[in-house]
């Protein structure tokens, strides 16, 4: 393209000011149109088509991050460590003992030896013997077997307290124990093979 072609004088003038016709370079105009076409496709893919929404991408990333996190030793909402630590709190144990005497004794015996419900002092557990598992059993209950889901009557703190109290009953060998039920588990609650 010669200068003569580019700088053609346009046929109007304003107060003696004249204007050249300087067309935009072809490559620039090309890119301009390509971006417009691209934006239409992009918009259609994400708004109308199968493109994931911002929220879906965020949730997928959060799931990935959660999967990468090392598995916390929790069952349900409360960690084994927190419940074990609670076994050292005199206040929590007193509260747990009171709850046990008031609500659990009729089926589990005054010392946890078991009557209608299983023995809670031995190493055998139907629903898992880790503190978190015991917490979950108390919370959700086993309604079809007559064990109440205590979350309707006890707060999470109260359930934690009674879980801690049950932890202290283990190995106490009270008289007239109910025979073992379920699986034998180690002191840390892991299954024995």
Site residues, ligand HEC (CB under 6 A) = 99, 103-104, 106-108, 116-118, 120, 125-127, 134, 137-138, 142, 145-148, 150, 162, 166, 181-182
| Closest distance to ligand HEC from the beta carbon of 193 (Å) | 19
Pick 86 or 120: Cβ nearer ligand HEC: 120
CB 121 within 8 A of CB 62: no
Q: Quick one: 9 or 101, whose CB is closer to ligand HEC?
A: 101
- Minimum distance from CB of 158 to ligand HEC (Å)? 8
Q: Tell the smallest beta-carbon distance from residue 65 to ligand HEC (Å).
A: 33
> What is d(CA 89, CA 23) in angstroms, rounded to the nearest whole number?
83
Residue among 131, 132, 192 at smallest CA distance from 166: 131
49 vs 123, beta carbon nearer ligand HEC:
123
Residue 66 CA to residue 15 CA, distance in Å, equals: 71
CB neighbours (10 Å) of residue 65? 9
User: In the complex with ligand HEC, which residue's Cβ is closer, 24 or 120?
Assistant: 120
Identify the residue whose tokens are 């199968």. 50
Q: Shortest Cβ distance from residue 76 to ligand HEC (Å)?
A: 12
């Amino acid at each position: 393209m010669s200068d003569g072609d580019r700088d053609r004088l346009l046929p109007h003038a304003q107060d003696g000011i004249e204007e050249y016709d300087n067309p935009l370079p072809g490559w620039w105009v090309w890119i301009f149109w390509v971006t417009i076409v691209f934006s239409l496709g992009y918009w259609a893919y994400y708004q109308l088509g199968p493109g994931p929404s911002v929220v879906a991408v965020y949730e997928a990333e959060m799931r990935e991050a959660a999967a990468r996190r090392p598995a916390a030793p929790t069952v349900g909402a409360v960690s084994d460590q927190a419940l074990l630590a609670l076994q050292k709190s005199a206040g929590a144990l007193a509260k747990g003992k009171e709850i046990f005497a008031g609500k659990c004794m009729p089926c589990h015996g005054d010392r946890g030896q078991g009557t209608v419900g299983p023995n809670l002092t031995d190493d055998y557990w139907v629903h898992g013997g880790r503190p978190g598992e015991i917490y979950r059993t108390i919370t959700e209950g086993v309604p079809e077997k007559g064990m109440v889901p205590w979350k309707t009557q006890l707060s999470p703190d109260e359930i934690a307290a009674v879980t801690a109290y049950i932890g202290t009953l283990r190995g106490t060998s009270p008289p007239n124990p109910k025979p073992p039920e379920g699986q034998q588990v180690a002191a840390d609650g892991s299954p024995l093979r």
